[in-house]
Structure 1
């Protein structure tokens, strides 16, 4: 990176302590097993526990340490330019149901935090989508009209709290920003007090959809459950073929202290400049923490370090920040019709559910999805359940995106094998802190030299569907460009859909 950007960690992770929930070591039974301990899984588990059923959360690593621990943490019904898209792609009713479900999630968060007495730095703030180009004003006007028709208190403004002029913006008042780990760690504690169970370092490796369902963990224990919710961000099971309808993307964030007088007093996002999202959070000593997100890219494609530099440069140019204390990245998945998949996993299932495809708005969708699934498992149905049903098919809307996504996967699956080695041809030429995919002993290897000079080598073949990984030079990881699986330098899974590590290779054997 060209300029210092602080520690490679999110503020949410750095400002909260670790968790120490136990691992599943023996077989157990539960009414509902929830796979995944992020916002989608914990909110779902907490809501289900409230219906009187026993519920168990199974997290592969530590709860709230994946994408949820690296979010921007906006909880808003105003999602960039979604309402005009929904109205034109589907109909006015779909846009209206989407707005109702999202605003319901916003208010549910506020009520729950108050009822449980959770101190999570929750703040009400207006939410804006803005443009700086006069050519894009018509786009904002259309979004304001569509959002207002969907029932949101949306207005068109040309003045904001940003320290630079905008051509136009949509404003929606009384949205929420908060500290996601403080909220969710408290929710997990309340779940335990209510009779639920949380297990960490328990990676689920197999699913038998019997009656009851049987989950097999990587250490051999079996969890039997009447119902199963797959809330692993990217589904770890491919039986529904959702991997053909999900497109992974990675977004980056930088954060640094800002004087209170420079606070823009709101949550902002623009689709311009490869996305720029801005909010602040309390930071002590009368300061705010400026958080700027953007530079989205497909995992494993392009230089992540260069993207962090661009984002940091934008933050320093537009805001009076003396330093950037943090930088981090988060991953999300967008569906082919821009609506999340929340409901029964596939047409043939009776007891397995999924919550995924949040498209960059996981805080609101995670809360909403928990309410939706808890109702469905209780034999009820919320008014908006139909628009999120994973079994839906919208060929007119999805075909173009499906073809584009399929071509991208095919290009990496085949083309990357024909490409030359990355950066260097020999491990001897690999500088400290650098990684490369190279051919060693007739096979593609992912080789990294750490700052102490030691080599780490693993197979470059992703254990999900066999694409080749690429080195992430900002986060020191191996990322798969096909479906977004991520691995550390020793091949351990950081992010699914892969569930098994990359094969180890002798680093000294050429």
Structure 2
């Protein structure tokens, strides 16, 4: 079993340089996942100088750790309708369909080889509570004259009581799609791309911003934050409007490929999709929980592996992912002020929401009209129905700051030295690795992840290696 995403294995990628001098640009995009690369792609024919930086390799962050679904059958529409109204839910549905159309057009126009394949999508339930939620979603589609089909089973053997399906959705290879857009951008003289270039600080100026790397600066008129989770706390107050959810995923080879995708409506999330390349795989996601409820990584990881083996006999790849969940099931995409823009909170549907983020952000920057400006406005007023969610987020943040528990392991301990707490990990060579046990982002305590051998923040998902080097944001500073 390979402990990495299926999408990043055996990928030949053209490495790009890291930033090696001070530069000036019109627009700086921070983050080279699906949202960042889509935004740059939509700006490529403008007269603006565009710079995109990624802290690692473009396309190899969170966008490389999903199930490869390109679908609008997501299970959120009745919830959005309940919070707002039917028109808002329909507008969100329209945005997801438009994202799929954009992907299709890019694949056709630029001859992108990313194994895009049309499929049917399923929603299903295996509990009384899940059936009630499924029937509400079914009613939404029926009332809005959207054709769905009742099903008694999935195309594979999997436990359920009720299911519905519809057509015109798809699966694809997300990394190959992103890398194809990257290669198109490399041809443009007004686009500069840099990898292994983390931004550690942003300073506001009279006319824009200065972004700082470890050694160099980028002076820019406008910044677009497409870095999954924003490292800025104040702008938009995103940490208090969202939670971070962790999920576990596997990919298993199959000799009986079935072209479909599915997700359940029960309290325990199961998500399934198929992908065919030289080999055929079934991708499976389970054990999704907010980070403050997901501290025993080893148990949850093993439970997921056991489930995958129970349903699909074996496992070839295994990995985990973080998703940003908003209080009203709509992402935050748009302007925080006249020079600062953001895309985050994709609610597990990063492929479609990342693509529509690229369209919306580029339209805003080019002063074009867009149907989704108000829908996804990151400064939108949240109604009374979601206030309790935000209060709960605040309480979870306080609880995570106070929690200093660690997963049981003879190799890990928390010690106190000169009034500060340190995490200590003893490796296989009996070398002890010391790190301060506080996340530099918002000062939450860190939990040791025995599965991936990292120190993880239970508040917002930052991760550090055993020597305290940051490997996933929103934190930008190492811990020592």
Name the CA distance, whole Å, in 1 between partners of 2:219 and 2:41.
19
Q: Deviations over 1:164-187 (max 9, x none)?
A: 353222312111111111110110
Within 5 Å, give how 1:439-454 maps onto structure 2.
Answer: 439-440=416-417, 442-454=419-431
| Aligned partner (choices 130, 152, 155) of residue 136 of structure 1 | 130
The structure-2 alpha-carbon separation of the partners of 1:476 and 1:400, relative to structure 1 and needing over 3 Å to count, comes to same
The structure-2 alpha-carbon separation of the partners of 1:114 and 1:463, relative to structure 1 and needing over 3 Å to count, comes to same
Name the CA distance, whole Å, in 1 between partners of 2:338 and 2:61.
29
| Aligned partner (choices 288, 312, 322) of residue 331 of structure 1 | 322
Aligned partner of residue 11 in structure 2, secondary structure: coil
Name the CA distance, whole Å, in 1 between partners of 2:129 and 2:379.
38
| Aligned partner (choices 32, 35, 39) of residue 40 of structure 1 | 35
In structure 2, the residue matched to 1:427 is none
Note if contact 1:299-1:479 (Cα within 8 Å) is conserved in structure 2.
no
Note if contact 2:80-2:88 (Cα within 8 Å) is conserved in structure 1.
yes
In structure 1, the residue matched to 2:83 is 89
Note if contact 1:214-1:222 (Cα within 8 Å) is conserved in structure 2.
no
Aligned partner of residue 157 in structure 2, secondary structure: coil
Mapped pair 1:154 → 2:145: no
Name the CA distance, whole Å, in 2 between partners of 1:490 and 1:188.
32
The structure-2 alpha-carbon separation of the partners of 1:29 and 1:140, relative to structure 1 and needing over 3 Å to count, comes to same
Mapped pair 1:250 → 2:250: no
Aligned partner of residue 236 in structure 1, secondary structure: coil
Mapped pair 1:396 → 2:384: yes
Name the CA distance, whole Å, in 2 between partners of 1:456 and 1:17.
33
Within 5 Å, give how 1:99-498 maps onto structure 2.
Answer: 99-134=93-128, 136-149=130-143, 152-195=146-189, 196-240=191-235, 241-259=237-255, 261=256, 263-272=257-266, 274-284=268-278, 287-299=279-291, 301-319=294-312, 321=313, 323-345=314-336, 349-414=337-402, 416=403, 423=408, 430-431=410-411, 435-440=412-417, 442-498=419-475
Name the CA distance, whole Å, in 2 between partners of 1:181 and 1:394.
34
In structure 2, the residue matched to 1:23 is 18
Where does structure 1 differ by over 6 angstroms across 4 or more consecutive aligned residues?
none
Note if contact 2:130-2:265 (Cα within 8 Å) is conserved in structure 1.
no
Name the CA distance, whole Å, in 2 between partners of 1:412 and 1:309.
24
Note if contact 2:121-2:165 (Cα within 8 Å) is conserved in structure 1.
yes
Within 5 Å, give how 1:3-18 maps onto structure 2.
Answer: 6-18=1-13
Alpha-carbon distance, 1:65 to partner? 1.6
Note if contact 2:202-2:212 (Cα within 8 Å) is conserved in structure 1.
no
Alpha-carbon distance, 1:150 to partner? 5.1
Note if contact 1:202-1:217 (Cα within 8 Å) is conserved in structure 2.
no
Note if contact 2:463-2:472 (Cα within 8 Å) is conserved in structure 1.
yes
Name the CA distance, whole Å, in 2 between partners of 1:267 and 1:135.
22
Alpha-carbon distance, 1:453 to partner? 2.5
Q: Deviations over 1:199-257 (max 9, x none)?
A: 01111122233354233323232212222100110011112221111211111101121
In structure 2, the residue matched to 1:507 is none
Name the CA distance, whole Å, in 1 between partners of 2:267 and 2:378.
32
Note if contact 2:323-2:345 (Cα within 8 Å) is conserved in structure 1.
yes
Aligned partner of residue 358 in structure 1, secondary structure: coil
Aligned partner of residue 46 in structure 2, secondary structure: coil
Name the CA distance, whole Å, in 1 between partners of 2:41 and 2:340.
18
The structure-2 alpha-carbon separation of the partners of 1:210 and 1:24, relative to structure 1 and needing over 3 Å to count, comes to same
Name the CA distance, whole Å, in 1 between partners of 2:414 and 2:46.
50
The structure-2 alpha-carbon separation of the partners of 1:151 and 1:231, relative to structure 1 and needing over 3 Å to count, comes to farther
The structure-2 alpha-carbon separation of the partners of 1:437 and 1:117, relative to structure 1 and needing over 3 Å to count, comes to farther
Alpha-carbon distance, 1:355 to partner? 0.2
Name the CA distance, whole Å, in 2 between partners of 1:273 and 1:447.
36
Larger CA deviation: 39-48 vs 237-246:
237-246
Q: Unaligned stretches of 5+ in structure 1?
A: 1-5, 425-429, 504-510
CA RMSD of aligned residues (A): 1.9
